[in-house]
Amino acid sequence: MLSTITSPTALRRLPASRLPALAAEIREFLVTQVARTGGHLGPNLGVVELTIALHRVFESPHDTIVFDTGHISYVHKLLTGRQDFSRLRSQGGLSGYPSRAESEHDVVENSHASTSLSWAEGIAIAHQLKGDRQRHTVAVIGDGALTGGMAWEALNNIAARKDLPLVVVVNDNERSYAPTTGGLAEHLSMLRTTQGYERVLSLGKRAISGAPVVGRPAFETLHGIKKGIKDIVAPQGLFEDLGIKYVGPVDGHDEHALEVALRQAKGYGSPVLVHVLTKKGKGYRPARQHADDQFHAVGVINPETGLPLEVSGRSWTDDFSDSMVALGQERDDVVALTAAMLIPVGLRDFSLKFPERVIDVGIAEQHAVTMAAGLAYAGLHPVVAIYSTFLNRAFDQLLMDCALHRAGVTFVLDRAGVTGSDGASHNGMWDMTLANVVPGLHLAAPRDGEQIELALRRSVDITDAPSVIRFAKGNPPAPIPALEQHGTVDVLHGPGEEHVDTLVVAVGSMVPTALGVAARLEDAGRTVRVVDPVWALPVGADVVQEARRADQVVVIEDNLVSGGVGSAITLALQQAGATAPVRPFGIPKEFLDHASRGQVLAAIGLTPDAIAQALLA
């Protein structure tokens, strides 16, 4: 049946009696296909009926549907005619997120949460100002993403626009990556578990079933019944207190009930919030049996058992996790903060050992960073562990709350550099450029797993400035020992203090690439020394001294080539009067298409062969 659904129009023509079979077929398709490629499996299994109902009630692209975060868009892709998942998240295949290049039905491409309500309000106001009042806008946001401050800024504005045809669908599965935390989660839980309210509400629906529940009068009748019931059996709803009409909770796996609720919301003509209860991993036993969310995003797995078919090995994150536990045992002033990513950033073991010293703020990086400044002021040393790409969201807090106040806060940035398959918004390619403009900040990019512990121990001793430790996604290389140390610089290859043709400054995970470049240059008759600055920012005097013993300096980093470590070294040499020219190699200032990390690096010329050829040319 799925192959016949080439567009939402075809879906709307399908008899309602066939929708359960379609939902089952979609789940089977997702498990089979995502098991081969990897991807966000659990979240998409949970929104099958919801996505079907959305496309039957609203007419995309005439009506605009915005998916928050976007990793729940797989079902949406299937229902809008994209059913070749054979190269999902691979070069030349479908993106793991909405993509305007793929379809007119896709709107917001980035994978950063809590943005959908702002997008949707802007789109809805634009339609209104242009005089097109027959178009509806829908924002689908998870309960986890609803913890983000930006979502509440948008709700505050949406509530004031009483005539805006905007529907907010809260996909409440009690989780983001991990269980949703905070006061909002408790409030949604209260609404979710008020069974008496639901039973009486169903009677109210039947009582007015003789009239179509689609226009404003009918909706207000139902709403009045519901409000009176809620005042009896449940506290007044938070959203209605804000001035936003509330519908729900609705069973997110009852397609008919979803259509009824969405048509009610569509007919009202002003901001309405539809509260939908879903189960992450619905219909797939392995996903439902694992509460630790290992099926949120999977690699290649056996679809029958859910077990991985590829052995991933020890990751950079594992080395950080072990280092944090060891440090926590030695120092009781070290506390950890995470933004709804406790497991992915490697804080689970620390939380098991020291549960009172871990704070999960939800999807609220800005809040986490400023709170960390407060923790530091009060005598603790906070370690903020987030993905590199999410530091973008908290730059003002890093600059004005941490750096300006000289707060001893450590930032541990996982997935730094090119991450590949998750696409443009997940690459951690901006963090060193951002860090480079922050006064007093210290930044380390460990070259292997052993260096992570050394960097972390040094970092928590810095009490008068923020510090950053960044590392890549995946597996670190085997330990790369220093041949010798020149002050704060580790010499990894080449003659000690002799003058050389080329000094290669290698940053973090690019050290193996730099060693490959050195080998190729030496084959061509050049003399080369490769050094790791260890602490890349600020640029140390020892790096300047190394540069004075070379005809040229090459900097290799997996960060924007503009504004990163290469730029910082160029400025440092100019200020010191050193004359060696600097040749930086990094990521160009452009958004990168999804592909494997190796394919992306090859495409942008960050390989030993490409760099060596450029230098020899």
- Spatial strand order in the sheet of 334-338: 358-360, 334-338, 381-387, 410-414, 467-470, 442-444, 535-537
Average pLDDT over residues 460-483: 95
| pLDDT of 221 | 46
| pLDDT of 113 | 86
| pLDDT of 295 | 61
Distance CA 526, CA 567 (A): 24
- Does residue 9 have a pLDDT over 90? yes
| pLDDT of 187 | 54
Instruction: Of 453, 461, 409, 473, give the one whose Cα is nearest residue 435.
Output: 409
> Residue 178 in contact with residue 340, Cβ under 8 Å?
yes
- Locate the domains of the chain by residue range: 41-72+97-194+234-277, 316-470, 488-616
| pLDDT of 232 | 37
Average pLDDT over residues 307-333: 88
| pLDDT of 175 | 58
| pLDDT of 504 | 97
- Look at residue 592 and give its three-state secondary structure: coil
| pLDDT of 190 | 56
**Per annotation, catalytic residue among 49, 365, 546, 557:** 365
| pLDDT of 293 | 60
Q: Is residue 111 a known part of a binding site?
A: yes
- Look at residue 121 and give its three-state secondary structure: helix
Which of 111-115, 189-193, 195-199, 361-365 is modeled with the greatest confidence? 361-365
| pLDDT of 32 | 87
Confidence of residue 217 (pLDDT cuts 50, 70, 90): very low
Chain segment 115-152, per-residue pLDDT in tens: 899 999 999 999 999 998 889 999 999 888 888 888 88
Question: DSSP of 464-529, one letter per residue?
Answer: SS-EEEE--SS-PPSP---SEEETTEEEEES-SSS-EEEEEEE-GGGHHHHHHHHHHHHHTT--EE
- Does residue 610 have a pLDDT over 70? yes
- Does residue 298 have a pLDDT over 70? no
Q: Is 278 left (phi over 0), alpha (psi -120 to 50) or beta?
A: beta
Please, how many CA atoms are within 13 Å of residue 62, restricted to the half-sphere of its CB? 11
Fold exhibited by the domain 41-72+97-194+234-277 = Rossmann fold (3.40.50)
Question: DSSP of 301-322, one letter per residue?
Answer: B-TTT--BSS-----HHHHHHH
Q: Which residue pairs, CB below 8 angstroms and at least 24 apart, start in 187-195?
A: 187/238, 188/143, 188/275, 190/234, 190/235, 191/234, 191/237, 191/248, 191/249, 191/275, 192/249, 192/277, 194/233, 194/234
Q: Is residue 102 a known part of a binding site?
A: no
Confidence of residue 194 (pLDDT cuts 50, 70, 90): low
Question: Does the domain at residues 316-470 carry the CATH identifier 3.40.50.970?
Answer: yes
Average pLDDT over residues 165-192: 68
Average pLDDT over residues 307-321: 81
> Residue 218 in contact with residue 260, Cβ under 8 Å?
no
% of residues, the chain, pLDDT over 90:
62
Q: Is residue 144 a known part of a binding site?
A: yes
Q: Is residue 223 a known part of a binding site?
A: no
Non-local CB neighbours of 88 within 8 Å, separated by 6+ positions: 33, 34, 37, 38, 39, 94, 96
Chain segment 60-97, per-residue pLDDT in tens: 999 999 998 888 899 999 999 999 888 888 888 888 88
- Does residue 496 have a pLDDT over 90? no
Q: Is residue 444 a known part of a binding site?
A: no
Distance CA 433, CA 567 (A): 9
Catalytic annotation on 280? yes
Alpha carbon dihedral 159, 160, 166, 170, in 10-degree steps, equals: -10
**Per annotation, catalytic residue among 135, 175, 280, 470:** 280
| pLDDT of 288 | 65
Catalytic annotation on 393? yes
- Does residue 386 have a pLDDT over 60? yes
| pLDDT of 490 | 96
Question: How many other C-beta atoms lie within 10 A of the C-beta of residue 553?
Answer: 25
- The full length of the chain comes to 617
| pLDDT of 137 | 95
Q: Is residue 315 a known part of a binding site?
A: no
- Does residue 553 have a pLDDT over 60? yes
> Residue 274 in contact with residue 265, Cβ under 8 Å?
yes
Distance CA 607, CA 613 (A): 10
What's the token pair of residue 191?
């609404």
Question: How many other C-beta atoms lie within 10 A of the C-beta of residue 100?
Answer: 12
> Residue 197 in contact with residue 166, Cβ under 8 Å?
no
Q: Is residue 173 a known part of a binding site?
A: yes
Q: Is residue 40 a known part of a binding site?
A: no
- Does residue 166 have a pLDDT over 60? yes
What's the token pair of residue 90?
């691979």
488-616 shares the fold of 316-470: yes
| pLDDT of 174 | 73
Q: What is the mean pLDDT of the chain?
A: 86
% of residues, the chain, pLDDT over 70:
85
**Per annotation, catalytic residue among 27, 82, 393, 415:** 393
- Look at residue 224 and give its three-state secondary structure: helix
Catalytic annotation on 153? no
Q: Is residue 436 a known part of a binding site?
A: no
Distance CA 263, CA 167 (A): 10
CATH code linked to domain 488-616: 3.40.50.920
Residue 582: strand pairing partners? 553
Alpha carbon dihedral 428, 434, 438, 444, in 10-degree steps, equals: 30
Distance CA 359, CA 88 (A): 34
Q: Is residue 113 a known part of a binding site?
A: yes
